[in-house]
Amino acid sequence: MLIPNQYNKEGRLLRQNDLFSMLPKRTTQNKNEVQTNLVSALNKVNTAPKYTPSVAIQSTALLRQQILLVESLVKQGKFKPHPNDRMLRTKDELWKEIKKIKELGIFSWDTEFDNLKYEDANLVGLSFFNYDEDSSFYVPFLHCDSNRNIHENQLTYKEFIEVAGEVFESPKIKKITHQYNSCDNQVLAFNTGIFVRGQYWDTLLFMNAIDENRVSGNSLKKLYSEFVLQEEGSQDTYEDLFGNLSFAFVPLDLAYVYGCKDARMTYEVYEAQKKILSAPEYKQMLQHYIEVEAPQLEVVNKMQYRGVLLSDEITSSLHDEYTELINSLKSELDNYFFVNFGLKGINYNSPEQLKTIIYDKMGCQSVDRKNPRGTGEDIIKKLVQKYPHYSILKKLLTYRSVGKLLNTYINALPPQRSKKDNALRGRFFSHGARTGRYSSAEPNLQNIPSGFNKDTGKDDSRIRNMFVPRPGYVWISADYSGLTSLAVVKPA
């Protein structure tokens, strides 16, 4: 590109040096000023609050690379903010929007956190949606740079409680969520002490309630594509966008877009679902959902929030007892297979090794057409009946059952306790079983051994003694199927 000639007032052509001389001179700092500014900048970094992840994170260098990759998603068109959505970074901004929600009486909300073990997770941010203004808002708490320095101008939990606590705890204001009883309320409660009331609708519970056999997936993105966009497939998942990067490291200008979108999608899925149940033929189902299903969520969340304690003394005693038993059983198995077949170093939990031993070395014939070389418990039980002279097969079953008690309960439950209060927490689902009963997972607290094992001579029901009430409390056992029964179990 040609640059036009420049002339001075007298009409003389200006040369390049003359042009530079006309620019304002840059002020230079002396060495003391430079040093002072550098020290000030370093102090600001060193004294800035640090983000403490609840799980292991990558090195700083790798974090920087991942953050750059996430930022590149903007160029790919993955992050397009809705014109009405924005971030709230001060108490005044939050209060202005919370007042509108209070008057509206209903809103959807969603959380962003950094750990799938919800009681240990940090609440990184929270979003909510105002349908009256078609606006979503994101409240950041713990976003930081790759050095874990928390960015300025983010709300603290205390500030959030002061402004929004009343709205979230009000039973009169309706809340709409996706997967409420699994994560959102848990993360919010453990970080802020706010226990949400007024749960009105949960898009995940809705799907489980009307279609327990659904196989196409109930993720928020999947439901949004199906109910709102009415197309196959789903929106980009968290993993698609961020991989394994903790949300705390997602840049704020991208994080608010993602958070706001989740709150908006939750409300739009709710509207689509409610429209379906508003049809005359679904009147009773809608009533049942609103009056029975949704109110249970608050009760279930209190159970999950409370958790249960374990006795270290009883757990340790059972560990020693059952470890001694399984070692004894292993010695018997090892000795038998070495003496009879010359085998050493057998892993009795390896299906491949057991196939070779049972069907090739011992010469057992198949007892199951669908699984001719199976090594599952049911198949080995059939082999025990078919080959009674192979008593070692029964010993193998006993070894496995003792190992299951150790690996599922005695050794496995204590490490799953929360770091915050040492309590064990399972998750409970009203539609996790086809029978209509509640189910439990992570860990399953409804399937604790309750019988005597005649093969080992051990009373496995003692594993239940690992669970103990908190000081000053007692266990109460109740059954509401048929006639109600009640039993009070005093602490040992």
* Domain ranges (residues) in the chain: 66-306, 308-416+448-492
Contacts of 240 (CB under 8 A, 6+ apart): none
Among all chains, which residue has been given the structure tokens 């040093």? 35
Q: What is the pLDDT, as a whole number, of residue 237?
A: 84
User: Per the CATH hierarchy, to which homologous superfamily does domain 308-416+448-492 belong?
Assistant: Taq DNA Polymerase; Chain T, domain 4 (1.20.1060.10)
With cut-offs at 50, 70 and 90, classify the pLDDT of residue 430: confident
Contacts of 464 (CB under 8 A, 6+ apart): 448, 449, 450
Neighbours of 465 (CB within 10 A): 15
Residue 141: helix, strand or coil by DSSP?
coil
Beta bridge partners of 488: 476
Residue 215, amino acid = V
Look at residues 136, 120, 119, 233 and name the one whose alpha carbon lies nearest to residue 176.
136
- Read off the tokens for 265: 């999608």
Look at residues 305, 272, 73 and name the one whose alpha carbon lies nearest to residue 184.
305
Please, how many CA atoms are within 13 Å of residue 46, restricted to the half-sphere of its CB? Answer: 6
Q: Are strands 86-87 and 135-140 parallel, antiparallel or unpaired?
A: parallel
User: 436, 481 in Cβ contact below 8 A?
Assistant: no
User: 224, 269 in Cβ contact below 8 A?
Assistant: yes
Contacts of 344 (CB under 8 A, 6+ apart): 334, 338
Query: Fold for domain 66-306?
Result: Nucleotidyltransferase; domain 5 (3.30.420)
User: 92, 103 in Cβ contact below 8 A?
Assistant: no
Look at residues 194, 110, 467 and name the one whose alpha carbon lies nearest to residue 311.
467
Residue ranges in 72-184 assigned as alpha helix (H): 91-104, 157-169
Residue 6: helix, strand or coil by DSSP?
coil
pLDDT top residue among 163 and 49: 163
SS3 of 225-240: the string is HHHHHCCCCCCCCHHH
Q: What is the pLDDT, as a whole number, of residue 278?
A: 82
Please, how many CA atoms are within 13 Å of residue 168, restricted to the half-sphere of its CB? Answer: 22
CA dihedral 66→69→74→79, nearest 10 degrees, is: -40
> Is the fold of 66-306 the same as that of 308-416+448-492?
no
d(CA 119, CA 308): 13
With cut-offs at 50, 70 and 90, classify the pLDDT of residue 214: low
The answer to whether residue 123 scores a pLDDT higher than 90 is yes
Q: What is the pLDDT, as a whole number, of residue 418?
A: 87
d(CA 163, CA 102): 11
The answer to whether residue 3 scores a pLDDT higher than 60 is no
Neighbours of 12 (CB within 10 A): 9
Burial classification of residue 346, based on how many CB atoms lie within 10 Å of its CB (0-12 exposed, 13-18 middle, 19 or more buried): middle
Among all chains, which residue has been given the structure tokens 């939050």? 94
Residue pLDDT, tens place only, 21-78: 554 555 555 667 656 665 665 565 455 689 999 888 888 888 899 889 888 888 888 8
User: 81, 136 in Cβ contact below 8 A?
Assistant: no
Q: What is the pLDDT, as a whole number, of residue 383?
A: 94
The answer to whether residue 408 scores a pLDDT higher than 60 is yes
Strands of 243-317 (E only): list them.
309-310
At 424, give phi and psi (nearest 5°): -100, 130
d(CA 98, CA 110): 15
What secondary structure does DSSP assign to 69-88, as a single string?
HHHGGGTTT-----TT-EE-
The answer to whether residue 20 scores a pLDDT higher than 50 is no
Look at residues 244, 263, 260 and name the one whose alpha carbon lies nearest to residue 252.
260
Residue 308: helix, strand or coil by DSSP?
strand
d(CA 478, CA 489): 11
Q: What is the pLDDT, as a whole number, of residue 58?
A: 85
d(CA 215, CA 96): 42
The Cα diameter of the chain in Å comes to 120
- Read off the tokens for 235: 């929106």
The answer to whether residue 19 scores a pLDDT higher than 50 is no
- Give this prediction's pTM: 0.78
Q: What is the mean pLDDT of residues 164-176?
A: 95
Residue pLDDT, tens place only, 249-273: 999 999 999 999 999 999 999 999 9
Q: What is the pLDDT, as a whole number, of residue 35?
A: 65
Contacts of 373 (CB under 8 A, 6+ apart): 355, 359, 366
Phi-psi region of 153 (alpha: psi -120 to 50; beta: other; left: phi over 0): left
User: 375, 386 in Cβ contact below 8 A?
Assistant: no
User: 122, 54 in Cβ contact below 8 A?
Assistant: yes
Mean pLDDT for all residues in the chain: 86
With cut-offs at 50, 70 and 90, classify the pLDDT of residue 215: low
DSSP conformation class of 144 = B
Q: What is the mean pLDDT of residues 198-227?
A: 81
User: 204, 214 in Cβ contact below 8 A?
Assistant: no
Q: What is the pLDDT, as a whole number, of residue 118?
A: 85
The answer to whether residue 483 scores a pLDDT higher than 70 is no
d(CA 271, CA 107): 12
